[in-house]
């Protein structure tokens, strides 16, 4: 069946209708719908419309409180704390955002933590948003355990990505770096499973600790960390910030993002924003020189280059979507 082309606005509206029908408030649904649209815009299908039936299922099952009202506090000048109240991460992040950005500008640096939360979508989009505010952003989020320690078999940490958003001095992002502790995001294995395609060698182990290319076996086993013990170390760093510092449930104790078992996962996020002007007068020039030294080399590319190209293409031409997926989502609000 030929893919159907959809505009970004249509994608956002489709997601909004499905989540409201599932029982989410319109403000909560709108925050998630925008995140879903941005994922499709940047060609990140694993975080796009594919997730909408899962989001809807989780709202209906009570794994996510679609009517949650986040609570925001600012216990110290540079600290913003958000209780997501077992709702979606996106509206919780939005709820604390203005205080977070203000605190960073007032103090030179600020931290916002979110707990009792859920999947926050593409982490790089939050880092990019910080950069667009003229700040240097470092974002972390953890996930239900899927990576075992080197030499072990029992997952302890999640894929635990971090993202860096670097301002360009003109209201945009000079660089957005977004990578997980695992070789590949777990959502990519979920996508391969739904499409009945094998995963790549070196992505995951099965439940017995043996290498596998079967997505179903990988989902029951563990993800492999990027760079071996160094990738696991990066995942631990994220775990300390996004879980321990925020007061969220540890990855090893969080219920899975897939399926309806286990209740709310109660995971967390940690965002750090720096005002470059508080530390250096030459920040933008240094960044431009650094990135220029990479871009000038034949065959080299900056992180995020593929997403940027996909963004330009989809903003111009729309997004190809599997009609069967559209039908599944539309069935949620018929």
SS3 annotation, 15-53: HHHHHHHHCCCHHHHHHHHHHHHHHHHCCCHHHCHHHHH
Residues 81 and 75: beta-carbon distance below 8 Å: yes
Tokens (6 digits) for 115: 């707990």
Q: First-to-last CA distance in the chain?
A: 22
13 is catalytic: no
Return the C-alpha torsion angle 144, 146, 149, 154, nearest 10: 90
Rg of the chain (C-alpha set): 19
3-state secondary structure of 113: strand
Q: Determine which one of 25, 35, 46, 193 is catalytic.
A: 46
Return the C-alpha torsion angle 153, 268, 329, 203, nearest 10: -30
- The Cα–Cα gap between 210 and 164 comes to 33
Cβ atoms < 10 Å from Cβ of 193: 18
Tokens 């997926």 -> residue? 325
- The Cα–Cα gap between 280 and 169 comes to 13
Q: Determine which one of 188, 193, 239, 284 is catalytic.
A: 188
What are residue 229's DSSP bridge partners? none
188 is catalytic: yes
Q: Determine which one of 25, 35, 40, 47 is catalytic.
A: 47
90 is catalytic: no
- Residues serving a catalytic function are 46-47, 188
């Amino acid at each position: 069946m030929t893919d159907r082309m959809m505009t970004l606005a249509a994608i956002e509206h489709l997601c909004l209708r499905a989540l409201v029908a599932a029982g989410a408030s319109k403000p909560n649904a709108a925050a998630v719908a925008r995140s879903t649209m941005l994922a499709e815009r940047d060609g990140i299908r694993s975080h796009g419309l594919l997730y909408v039936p899962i989001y809807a299922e989780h709202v209906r099952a009570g794994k996510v409180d679609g009517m949650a009202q986040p609570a925001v506090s600012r216990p110290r000048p540079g600290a913003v704390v958000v209780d997501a109240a077992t709702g979606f991460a996106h509206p919780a992040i939005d709820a604390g955002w203005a205080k977070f950005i203000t605190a960073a500008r007032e103090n030179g640096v600020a931290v916002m933590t979110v707990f009792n939360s859920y999947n926050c979508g593409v982490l790089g989009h939050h880092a990019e948003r910080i950069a667009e505010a003229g700040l240097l952003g470092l974002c972390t989020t953890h996930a239900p355990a899927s990576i075992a320690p080197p030499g072990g078999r029992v997952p302890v940490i999640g894929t635990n990505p971090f993202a860096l958003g670097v301002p360009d001095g003109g209201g945009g992002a000079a660089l957005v770096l977004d990578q997980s502790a695992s070789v590949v995001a777990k959502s990519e294995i979920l996508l391969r499973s739904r499409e009945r395609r094998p995963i790549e060698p070196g992505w995951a182990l099965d439940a017995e600790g043996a290498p596998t290319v079967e997505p179903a076996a990988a989902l029951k086993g563990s993800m492999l960390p990027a760079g071996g013990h160094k990738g696991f170390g990066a995942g631990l760093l994220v775990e300390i910030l996004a879980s321990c510092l925020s007061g969220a449930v540890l990855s090893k104790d969080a219920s899975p993002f897939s399926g309806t078992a286990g209740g709310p996962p109660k995971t967390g996020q940690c965002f750090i924003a720096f005002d470059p002007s508080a530390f250096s007068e030459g920040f933008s020039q240094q960044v431009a020189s650094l990135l220029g030294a990479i871009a000038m080399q034949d065959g080299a590319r900056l992180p995020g280059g593929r997403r940027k190209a996909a963004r330009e293409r989809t903003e111009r031409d729309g997004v190809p979507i599997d009609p069967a997926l559209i039908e599944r989502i539309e069935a949620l609000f018929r």
